A and B are shown apart, each in its own frame.
Chain A
Amino acid sequence: MDVLVIHLVNALLYASVLFLIAGGLSLIYGVMRIVNMAHGNLYAFGAYVTAWAIGSVAGGAPTVLLLVLLPVGALAAAVLGAVLEPTLLRPFYRRAEEYQLLVTFGLLMILEDLLRFIWGPYPLSASEVFENFGSLTIGDSLYPTYNFLVIGVGIVAAIFLWGVIYKTRFGVVLRATSQNMRMASALGVNVNRVYIQAFTLGCFMAGLGGAIIVPGQSAVLGMGIDAVVLAFIVVVVGGLGSLEGALVGALIVGVVREAGITWFPEIELAVLYLIAAIVLLVRPAGLFGRP
Chain B
Amino acid sequence: MSLLVTKNLVKYFGDTHAVDHVDFTVKEREVLALIGSNGAGKTTLVNLISGLFPPDSGQILFRGQDVTHESVHGRISAGIARSFQLVNLFDQLSALDNVALTIFSREGKTRKLASLASADHAVWDEALEILRLFGLEGKAQMLAGGVSQGERKLLDVAIAYALRPKLLFLDEPTSGVSTREKTPIMDTVTSVVRSRGISAAIIEHDMDVVFNYSDRIVAMHQGAILADGTPDEIRRNEAVTTTLIGTTGPR
Question: Are A and B direct contacts in the complex by CB distance below 8 Å?
Answer: no
